[in-house]
Amino acid sequence: MRIVIMLSAAICLLAACQNTQQPGAGHSPEDSAAVQPGQPTALSHTDTLQFIHFEGNYDYWYAIFLNAAKDTIHLVTDSVPDDNLKNNLFEVKWFTDTLEEAGDNNSQYAANRMTAFRVIDGAPFVPPVSEQQVIDDIKNLPEVKGNADQVSIAERPAGDKTWYLIETGTREEDHFSRLFMFRVYVYPKYEIRFYDPAGDTDMSLREWRNK
Q: How far is it, in rounded angstroms, from Cα 117 to Cα 46?
A: 9
Domain that holds residue 169: 131-210
- Give the model's pLDDT for residue 104: 61
Write 199-205 long-range contacts (CB < 8 A, 24+).
Answer: 205/141
Asked whether residue 39 is domain-assigned, the answer is no
Last residue within a domain, chosen from 120, 140, 161: 120
Q: How many domains does the chain have?
A: 2
Asked whether residue 32 is domain-assigned, the answer is no
Asked whether residue 23 is domain-assigned, the answer is no
Last residue within a domain, chosen from 120, 144, 166: 120
Whole-model pTM? 0.63
Asked whether residue 24 is domain-assigned, the answer is no
- Over residues 165-185, the pLDDT tens digits come to 999 999 888 888 999 999 999
| Percentage above 70 pLDDT, the chain | 79
Map residue 30 onto helix, strand or coil. helix
Clarify whether residues 112 and 153 are in a common domain.
no
Question: Which residues are registered as beta bridge partners of 195?
Answer: 181, 202
**Quick one: pLDDT band at residue 141, thresholds 50, 70, 90?**
very high
pLDDT above 90 for 118 = yes
Clarify whether residues 160 and 89 are in a common domain.
no
pLDDT above 90 for 123 = yes
